[in-house]
Amino acid sequence: MANTLLDLSNELAESVSTAGNAVVRVEARRRLPASGFAWSHDGVIVTAHHVIEHEDNIRIGLPGGDAVPATLVGRDPATDLAVLRVQGASLPSPTWAEPESVRVGHLVLALGRPGKSVLATLGIVSALGESWRTPAGGQVHRYLQPDVAMYPGFSGGPLVAATGQVIGLNTTALLRGATVTIPAPTIRRVVEALLAYGKVKRGHLGVAVQPARLPAAIAKQFRQETGLLVTSVEPGSPAERAALVLGDTLVTFAGEPVRYPDDLLALLSGDRVGTTVPVQVLHGGRLQEVKVTIGERP
């Protein structure tokens, strides 16, 4: 038993050493610095959006102890991710764990570098789920909640498997009272968008909606009990230009049923910005189709 525990202890320590070489300190807020980690060898660093309180005079603390200036490439509040870049720094990019290999009960390590040294806490994967949408509307590929202690300055650091492979980025800002890990596929999608455009494009309709029960005949025709009642329309928005008005009920959007607000958010993806889609809507009690050109969320 003693040898088994010693072997496990040594393996965990090696995992911290391996993954910790890519973990950096992020100095971009007035209080305690936060953490981040290298995305690629050319100085691209990923961290949490909420730890970037000022966009100028950002500094990165490297594993060797040096502090170097960094620039903000872009940020995505909806997934709490941000990308920084440092010039002339060569950092080892982490090895990523296969998302399907992570199971509830697996041992995991949360790493951070709020000071000069890398810190680690040990826990387990306590919950896994399907893809989910954050309260700010960001799409995350998988719900992953670790049972790890997140000390001050750990946000933006990686969750690491016992093998030393990185599972994702830890944040305490997306769900109140819970630490969640943004998985690698979501990070990759957001980082690529930020590197290409400086932002993540999302579609914009310009309405506030709430679920509303459809008339029996319409519910039977579309095999859905609810649509989305329009409770407000922004002036000058794509919705107003399409003549949608207060009291209309959206039944389908781009050929897909919209029963709940999340259904509509999911269909307002960045690749649809600038495209025109059909919307079936109940207007004055009558079903009609309108065309909406999707805008870009400000």
CATH of the domain at 7: 2.40.10.120
The string of DSSP codes covering 208-267 is EEEEEEPPHHHHHHHT-SEEEEEEEE-TTSHHHHTT--TT-EEEEETTEE--SHHHHHHH
How many residues comprise the chain?
298
The string of DSSP codes covering 196-224 is HHSS---EE--EEEEEEEPPHHHHHHHT-
Are residues 208 and 196 part of one domain? no
Are residues 21 and 158 part of one domain? yes
Of the residues 49, 50, 76, 263, only one is catalytic, namely 50
Tokens of 173: 């800002």
Which region, left, alpha or beta, applies to residue 263 given φ > 0 means left and ψ of -120 to 50 means alpha? alpha
Encode pLDDT of 161-218 as tens digits. Answer: 999 999 999 999 999 989 999 999 999 999 999 999 999 988 999 999 999 999 999 9
Are residues 221 and 144 part of one domain? no
Are residues 62 and 10 part of one domain? yes
Of the residues 15, 76, 80, 248, only one is catalytic, namely 80
Phi, psi of 65, deg, nearest 5: 110, -15
In this prediction the pTM is 0.83
Are residues 236 and 179 part of one domain? no
Q: Is the dihedral of CA 35, 39, 43, 47 positive or negative?
A: negative
253 closest CA partner among 232, 233, 230: 230
**pLDDT classification of 1: cutoffs 50, 70, 90:** low
pLDDT at site 2: 66
pLDDT at site 137: 81
Helix (H) or strand (E) holding 12: helix 2-20
Of the residues 49, 155, 248, 263, only one is catalytic, namely 155
Element counts in the chain: helices (H) and strands (E): 5, 22
Are residues 172 and 101 part of one domain? yes
Please state the domain count of the chain. 2
Is residue 105 within 8 Å of 128, Cβ to Cβ?
no
Are residues 151 and 255 part of one domain? no
Tokens of 55: 């966009």
Are residues 193 and 286 part of one domain? no
189: number of CA atoms within 13 Å, CB side?
16
**Is 80 part of the annotated catalytic residue set?**
yes
**What's the average model confidence in pLDDT over 75-98?**
91
CATH of the domain at 236: 2.30.42.10
End position of a domain, from candidates 158, 176, 200: 200
Encode pLDDT of 211-246 as tens digits. Answer: 999 999 999 999 999 999 999 999 999 999 999 999
End position of a domain, from candidates 142, 176, 200: 200
pLDDT at 89 over 70: yes
**What's the average model confidence in pLDDT over 106-133?**
96
Are residues 283 and 231 part of one domain? yes
Among 45-59, 81-95, 111-125, whose mean pLDDT is lowest?
Answer: 81-95
Are residues 118 and 68 part of one domain? yes
**Is 56 part of the annotated catalytic residue set?**
no
Are residues 178 and 63 part of one domain? yes
Range of the domain at 241: 203-296
Are residues 87 and 183 part of one domain? yes
**pLDDT classification of 93: cutoffs 50, 70, 90:** confident
**Is 155 part of the annotated catalytic residue set?**
yes
End position of a domain, from candidates 200, 222, 243: 200
154 closest CA partner among 32, 296, 7, 31: 32
Dist. CA 45–CA 84, nearest whole Å:
5
